[in-house]
Amino acid sequence: MFLDNKKIGLFGGSFDPAHLGHVNFSFEAAKHFNLDQVIWLISPGNPLKPKAPEPIVSRVTGAKNIISSPKIIISSVEAEKGLRYSWETLDFFFHNYPKTKFVWLMGSDNLAQFHLWKNWRWIIESCPIGVLARPNSRQTGLNSKAARIYKNYRIPANAGRCLPYSTSPVWCFANMPLMNISSSDIRKK
């Protein structure tokens, strides 16, 4: 991956399975937060979920089958490097790509439970965070513990394009056209 001197969004998740909602989220994030590319960090597993996802090879293949764009990079770096937590992944990228401006991306559903993540304060204090609205979780995200603690570090949505150049802690919440689709709903079918 050639990432030097770029503005890169890091979008972690199980992608079990990847779907058009992930694609829409990525393009909206690139637009709102002025990103050159978005990396889908397909995780080996989510420590906060009791059930293991499908094998990573099938999830990576599924992701590559739904999107082929130079704007989106599909990555299994967490499995390849033995990274279990998001903070470890960020630390890996910071050390290996020091000339790159990173923005951690998440939906408002993840913001709602961000305070449960391992070293979540380190994440927000080390990397700008771009949050996009998700169905049924806009208000729970905005009223979350992390949002309340870091309320003074939130920049307005119309300043989101400055996020890659901002000094942490900083976060931005933006609305986007919502798609009522989720991986868990797809798995139920």
Which CATH architecture does the domain made up of 7-188 adopt?
3-Layer(aba) Sandwich (3.40)
The pLDDT assigned to 1 comes to: 57
The pLDDT assigned to 186 comes to: 47
Per-residue pLDDT of the chain in tens (189 residues, 90 and over written 9): 577 889 999 999 999 999 999 999 999 999 999 999 999 999 987 666 677 778 999 999 999 999 999 999 999 999 999 999 999 999 999 999 999 999 999 999 999 999 999 999 999 999 999 999 998 888 999 999 999 999 999 999 999 999 999 999 999 999 987 656 554 554 355
Give the C-alpha separation, 55 to 16, whole Å: 9
**Is residue 113 a contact partner of residue 48, using CB atoms and an 8 Å limit?**
yes
Ramachandran angles phi, psi of 154, nearest 5°: -85, 130
Give the C-alpha separation, 59 to 61, whole Å: 5
The pLDDT assigned to 187 comes to: 38
Which amino acid, residue 172? C
